[in-house]
Structure 1
Amino acid sequence: MQFGSRRKKLNTDIQTELYGHPLQFYGQPPLENISLTEFETFAVERLKLLKTIENLGVSYVKQSEQYSQKLQSEIKNLNFPYRPEADDRKIQTGPTEYEKRRKDHISHFILRLAYCQTEDLRRWFIQQEVDLFRYRFNHLHPTQKLEFLHKNSLQYDTVSAEEKVILKDKLVNSSYAVSGITVEGQDFYKVPFQDALDLVRTRKVYLKAGYVYIPHQDIVTIVLNDFRTRLSKALALTARSLPAVHSDERLQPLLNHLSHAYVGQDYSIQKNVGKISLEQIDSLSVKSFPLCMRQLHQSLRENHHLRHGGRMQYGLFLKGIGLSLEQAMQFWRSEFVKGKVDADKLEHSSSPESCSTLCLVLFYWR
């Protein structure tokens, strides 16, 4: 697969430009040839990383200690860049780190091709990439953060010492995690308020005359907004080039597969089907059933009757825990017999209860 130029190798200057810093805005596309095997491997592994970020965002508070530990472990396992050292200017001395940055760079652009096709795909891709960028930026050394800001022309006006003294009380009262002792010892940036709407919305900064005063540790919010804007525009531009990309019969199937791929565990394989017996249901209902299913089971055992909605829910639940078709039919028949339905007439009964439930069993267990 070729990106842009026909050069076989990146020269030293371009290597330094692309991979000289552990973090980037992905403004420059890759300029080298890669095999289709490497193309697919890079893309799948980055997709696994983004899926992990999505799942962690649901299970944990973003940027919490547990969130960061699990994300760091996944980044490390997939050989993407993580936790760079403070002195990281000569990547030639660490070829392993160079390969990680190269993989990160190329895989990002591959997924751009796959996830620029629809609005929903673009929205999902942007959110996961922003979360990944936030994690990486927050774990940069302070000197690397300043270097990144300068490299990407994010040189916001620094508040002078005199102005900090004048605004000291307001900065302390309005800025998150800032005390009177540290105001003089840290930088504040004066930024147009429209570039920091998230901080304004949550009242974490001092707002005056159309500008907000942001402490150094909160500058990540501004950088994220910039990254989100750039990535959104880049995806829109990438979408325009899709007809040319899809004309390549080697790439179109790969990109379509990536945009619909699920890289987690395959839950369609029902390993426990038929392994739950009728004798186990009562004991399992006490110690293992969710509360709603436990209540339905108890009500069925006590009254030998459930309303239609309850029968629908409980019937599907029994199938889900591995009850076989034969066991399900036996289970429901035994309850009907204990209730109002005569055993001899069960097979020919017109009772709504028996008919609807047996039809449900036959349909969902087929």
Structure 2
Amino acid sequence: MQFLRDRRMRLPTRLTGDRKGDQYPSNLQFYHLPPTENISLTEFETFAIERLKLLKAIENLGVSYVKNSEEYNRRLEQELKKLKFPYRPSQDEISDSVYDQRRKDHISHFILRLAYCQSEDLRRWFIQQEMDLFRFRFSLLNKDKVQEFLKFNGLEYVAISEDEKNMHKEDLINSGFGLSSTKLEELEYYKVPFQATLDLVRTRKVFLWHGFAFIPHTDIVSVVLNDFRTNLSKALALSARSLPFVQSDERLQPLLNHLSHSYIGQDFSSQRNTGKISLDQMDALATKSFPPCMRQLHKTLRENHHLRHGGRMQYGLFLKGIGLTLEQALQFWKLEFTKGKVDSEKFDKVYAYSIRHNYGKEGKRTDYTPYSCMKIIVSNPPSQGDYHGCPFRHSDPELLKQKLQSFKVSSTGINQILDLVKGMHYQIACQKYFELVHSVDDCGFSLNHPNQYFAESQRLLTGNRDIKKEQIPHDTTASTSSQISSSSSSTSVPTTQPSAAAMEDLEQIFSEY
């Protein structure tokens, strides 16, 4: 795939007639062959951002609703339609709009494959969301379309004949729960080597005969999904090996690094509340409206009167985003640091510069934006003595449990949060924490940013949203600080800034998401 530096959008080479069907015969793909056409950097960025939005929506839906339930499918279909990705099989000749959607689906998958092959955590997350998307699309195929898809992808899952079905009729009925002769006639069965169906064999859902498993149409998706997962896992491993070559391209390296922890929500670089927050409100705001990552940093700063560089950056930019002016920030940090081992002169010489730098008053005068959840989770994991990072990602489960107890979260709520953490749904775990401490049944938003957490909390607490249950009192007493250590190591994603020559117009695109 070639990438064009020209700022003008280049239209893709269009296929006509039957050639469209040859390249993208189905909405469902195994993504075996990478795209080979020319594509502009702007289109590259747009496709990647829109697929990332889709995968984030799939993750949220998978936690909020039972997968494959009617409501889950309805909402996922809405997301696919809104973002213009293919989902329902096309019965007619492939139109330009269908071709464009399938092309976008193909190219965007490979872009995110490059971005999300960089660490084990990223690969695992990407595979899970892509599998859920594949499962939904597969469920929309009728029997004929399933056969076409299997044949096109070289999967030797042959539908058995009526004669063979009648020969094993009793065994097939006994292998299915609540299966009658009438229902059996309506089902299509596939004969698959049993080693490809171990999940179904383990649960005794299939009939085995001469080394083959007889699988109904309704269960073949689990076999195909297993193939999809295996192929995608191998492809991501190969992509990871080619990263040094890909990242040698100065146009792609910063772009892929951005995507792996990209924030796609509201822009918190503009400070609407600048100067509206006073320093004497900080402790109350930290208890009521700070997300756990910032509440942890605030508590540590108050107790130790110091934070290391990672903590100062994460917390300082968050405070900037909620409305602290430069003068307030300098006063806040100086008052706290001088209570410890840093005198006033040392603070002015060593620490004041970095605070002014964050506000765009020093160095290259970049107006830095607060860190998103994904950036906090993926990049710069905390080491011993650090307190930055995401408590849901970087804390030991037992330590996290103690922390939640100190925040007066109920034991039922703690178990719900720990289950989400175990499933690596860190942002959704924080969203669940928001609902519990604010006593709402459904927060009504998808959490992607610490400053979003603060804004939604303030909107709720100031009466702009209905509280559905009786308020649970917040913990207002400081407890002894505990050191946070990373529960498991992850590959750090570089945060190299895009070069001005190659990325000046793409940085504007990022600022819009």
Fold-level match, TM-score > 0.5?
A: yes
Please, what is the CA RMSD of the aligned residues? Answer: 3.7
Letter in 1 for 2:129: Q
Question: Aligned ranges for residues 186-335 of structure 1 at < 5 Å?
Answer: 186-264=187-265, 313=407
Give deviations 1:184-243, integer Å, cap 9, x for gaps: 443322212221122223332123443211012221111111111111111111112111
Counterpart for residue 33 of structure 1: 38
Contact kept, 8 Å, 1:18 with 1:28, in 2: the verdict is no
Q: What's the TM-score, normalizing by structure 2?
A: 0.50
String of CA shifts for 1:254-294, please: whole Å, max 9, x gaps: 101111123346799998x979xxxxx9xxxxxxxxxxxxx
- The unaligned stretches of length 5 or more in structure 1 are 276-280, 282-307, 323-353, 361-366
| C-alpha contact 1:10 1:31 (8 A) present in aligned 2 | no
Tell me whether 1:57 sits opposite 2:151 in the alignment.
Answer: no
Structure 1 pair 192/261, CA: closer, same or farther in 2 (3 Å)?
A: same
What CA distance in whole angstroms lies between the structure 2 residues aligned with 1:359 and 1:229?
46
What is the match of residue 129 of structure 1? 130
CA contact (8 A) 1:80 1:104 kept: yes
- State the alpha-carbon separation in 2 of the partners of residues 310 and 132 from structure 1: 33
- SS of 1:182's equivalent in the other structure is helix
Aligned to 2:153: 152
Identity of aligned residues (%): 58
Change (3 A) 1:51 1:357: closer
Distance 1:161 1:83, change over 3 A: closer
The residue aligned with 1:170 is: 171
Q: CA deviation at 1:20?
A: 2.4
Matched letter for residue 255 of structure 2: L
Is the 1:175–1:215 Cα contact (8 Å) retained in structure 2?
A: no
Letter in 2 for 1:255: L
**Code of the aligned partner of 2:407:** Q
The alpha-carbon deviation at position 10 of structure 1 amounts to 6.2
Matches within 5 A, 1:342-361: 357=478
Give the deviation of 1:153 after TM superposition.
1.5
* Distance change (3 Å), C-alpha of 1:231 and 1:357: closer
Mapped to 2, the partners of 1:254 and 1:161 lie a distance apart of 54
Distance 1:149 1:215 in 2: 15
Distance in 1 separating the partners of 2:407 and 2:151: 59
Alpha-carbon distance change, 96 to 205 in structure 1, aligned in 2, over 3 angstroms: same
User: In structure 2, what is the equivalent of residue 9 of structure 1?
Assistant: 13
What is the deviation of 1:55?
Answer: 0.7
Q: Which secondary structure state, in structure 2, belongs to the residue aligned with residue 155 of structure 1?
A: coil
Task: State the aligned residue count.
Answer: 290
SS at the partner of 1:21?
Answer: coil
Q: CA distance change for structure 1 residues 212 and 311 in 2, over 3 Å: closer, same or farther? A: closer
Tell me the residue number matched to 1:79: 84
The 2-side partners of 1:157 and 1:358 are apart by 64
TM-score, normalising length: structure 1: 0.69
Structure 2 vs 1, CA of residues 233 and 309 (structure 1 numbering), >3 Å: closer, same or farther?
closer
**Relative contact order (alpha carbons < 8 A, sep ≥ 6): 1 or 2 greater?**
2
The one-letter code matched in structure 2 to 1:43 is: A
Q: Aligned pair in 2 of structure 1 residues 224, 77: CA closer, same or farther (>3 Å)?
A: same
Q: Is the 8 A contact 2:80 2:87 kept in 1?
A: yes
Secondary structure of 2:38's aligned partner: coil
Contact conserved, 2:406 with 2:479, CA < 8 A, in 1? no
Q: Which is greater in Rg?
A: 1
CA distance in 2, matches of 1:157, 1:25: 18
SS at match of 2:32: coil
Distance (Å, rounded) in 2 between the aligned partners of 1:309 and 1:187: 53
1:10, 1:32 within 8 Å by CA — same for their partners in 2? no
SS at match of 2:182: coil
**C-alpha spacing 1:146/1:115, structure 2 compared with 1 (3 Å):** same
**Counterpart amino acid of 2:61?**
L
Q: Distance in 2 between matches of 1:28 and 1:358?
A: 55
- Offset of 1:144 from its aligned partner? 1.5
Rounded Cα–Cα distance in structure 1 between residues aligned with 2:144 and 2:404: 61
Partner Cα distance (2:80, 2:21) in 1:
23
Whether the 8 Å contact between 1:165 and 1:184 is mirrored in structure 2 is no
2:120 matched residue in structure 1: 119
Cα 1:186/1:105, change in 2 over 3 Å: same
**Residue number among 19, 26, 39 corresponding to 2:24 in the alignment:** 19
Structure 1 counterpart SS, 2:218: helix
